[in-house]
Amino acid sequence: MSKEQVRFRAMTLEDIARIVEIEQEAFTTPWTSEAFRNELFNNMFARYYVMVHEGRIIGYGGMWIIIDEAHVTNIAVSAEWRGNGLGERLLVELQRRAVGFGANKMTLEVRVSNEVAQRLYRKMGFEPSGIRPGYYSDNQEDALIMWAELSEERSNDPRGHFGEDDGDTEEQQS
């Protein structure tokens, strides 16, 4: 992929329809628009961001910030944009923003069969720490629990902007 402009911003109500489209491409049990509305308006711990290219949302990620821990709830890149390193870029942005909110650790669950995602998470500093048996409702597949330590140094990685607020950031993606 040649250098592309990628921008990150806080998710809004107007973004939900597109986010649900990406959810349906990425997951066998996608979240509904109501679930995202609930996260945006009723969950004081929730922080959701979209990744935009040329005015179109091409990915998104969400997390809960609880005291000094960030729990990734969702992260996905549109099918047409996968394989370009954008999942990594999105995860870097979530880690940076988590540090900005005071988190020093990040956790997530991933299907035990999803080796592609696990490779990305390991590359980003996540280590396995346990199993949630039967976690996924569609087929009762187990989830691998992974944790990563976050640091200010990592958040200032040259791959993009570290932002403490919900403002826009513009990035060069290589």
Residues labelled as active-site residues? 109, 121
Strand positions, DSSP E, the chain:
4-10, 46-53, 56-66, 69-77, 105-111, 127-132, 143-149, 169-173
Q: Which DSSP state fits 15?
A: G
**In angstroms, how far is the first alpha carbon of the chain from the final one?**
7
